[in-house]
Amino acid sequence: MFEARFSQQIDRLTHQDHGAWETHDRAVAMKNNGEDVILLCVGDPDFRTPEPIIDNAVSHLRVGRTHYSPALGEMKLRRAVADLETATSKHPCSPSEVAIFPGATNAIYSVMSCLLNPGDEVVIPEPMYVGYPSIMAAIDAKVVSVPLLVEQDFKLDMEAVKAAVTERTRVVFINTPGNPTGSLIGRRELAELAAFCRERNLWLVCDEVYSMFTYSGRHRSLRASSEHLDNVVMVDGLSKSHAMSGWRIGWVVAPQNLIERLGAHAGATLFGCPQFIQDASAFALENDQEYVASMRQDYAERADYVVEKLEKLNGIHCHRPKAGMFVMCDVDGTGMNGREFARALLDAELVSVVPGDAFGPSAKNCVRVGLAQPRPVIKQAVLRIKRFIEALPARS
């Protein structure tokens, strides 16, 4: 008789603890059952992909751009990314320093596959984006997380990051603007961290997928901030900035020695992204000022609205995001931790938020409120949260 046996890799992925997603999964099931659930848990933009980008993709489909594409990406998209980098950084960037992937997730996975051996350590500040632990589990790298403190507004703790490095560390992995915290890492800190990593012979990888959604303060890219580029790697993509999550386009900007290896990796695992999607993505990057700015403005207004309203509620303290698509709210004052709060809110008012411990233990008393819903829906959700808080027994 056949006994199905699976790889250790997929066992590691399948047995990850998804407890923090229980409320989210329940919310989605309830919504699919026709219940009037408001989902504030996802990071998928509610905006439609701008019409000119759709038209551009269709026109490229019609002229037959439906064949294989180079493993590292179409030259015109690599050039568009390089031009963007050159425009926003003091270092000129050439297309040979750019590789295209189906989304930032795959870009990060591919980069880490090229940099880490099983058992190697990767230092990551937490709370961190929920996708990171799975990627590291896939390549059997060990995540060494560095807690960022809620009382310090989740600011990067440089000394703690440095102290977490051991002789097994190969990579320090950061995220600015940050998900879930909406905080920014400043130019000086990025420069200091890059110099530290270089001195310790470590790669510094930075996920910048929210780079175009900064509301207060400026986004500083790792590349623009670093003096030397031979150990720095940047990941970005179109999912958030251009409301193109389903198109699956992301990229890596890195030294050529890593790009060449990424080419070998992509050749073995992907064999290129669809031509017409890359064509439209290049068009998107070259013609985007107006609609990116208008989406950014909308998210900023939604964030202001949520912070202003929730901050007034008993027991809730919001961290005003400087960027991104989320507001982190500390709910400790309600007598519940994030998981209890999320569960009770869904039960009582059919609003789904993500408990902070989905992103790491330092955020266990928080919930993440997503902004990827039209304003009337957000308004309705805020009213329900208010009703929920007002119905809680008064705490002394």
**Binding interface with ligand PLP (CB under 6 A):** 43, 103-105, 129, 131, 175, 179, 207, 209, 237, 239, 245, 250
Q: What is the largest CA-CA distance in the chain?
A: 69
Radius of gyration of the chain (CA): 21
Closer to ligand PLP by CB, 179 or 231: give it. 179
CA atoms of 134 and 168, how far apart (whole Å): 20
Closer to ligand PLP by CB, 131 or 315: give it. 131
To ligand PLP, the closest distance from the beta carbon of 138 in angstroms equals: 14
CA atoms of 38 and 40, how far apart (whole Å): 6
To ligand PLP, the closest distance from the beta carbon of 112 in angstroms equals: 13
To ligand PLP, the closest distance from the beta carbon of 243 in angstroms equals: 11
Judge contact between 368 and 194, C-beta under 8 A. Answer: no
Residue partners of 318: CB distance under 8 A and separation at least 6: 306, 307, 310, 311, 327, 328, 329, 330
To ligand PLP, the closest distance from the beta carbon of 42 in angstroms equals: 8
To ligand PLP, the closest distance from the beta carbon of 320 in angstroms equals: 19
To ligand PLP, the closest distance from the beta carbon of 246 in angstroms equals: 9
Closer to ligand PLP by CB, 221 or 239: give it. 239
Closer to ligand PLP by CB, 42 or 350: give it. 42
Closer to ligand PLP by CB, 59 or 134: give it. 134
Judge contact between 266 and 99, C-beta under 8 A. Answer: yes
Closer to ligand PLP by CB, 134 or 337: give it. 134
CA atoms of 287 and 275, how far apart (whole Å): 18
Q: What is the 3-state secondary structure (H, E, C) of 28-82?
A: HHHHHCCCCCEECCCCCCCCCCCHHHHHHHHHHHHCCCCCCCCCCCCHHHHHHHH
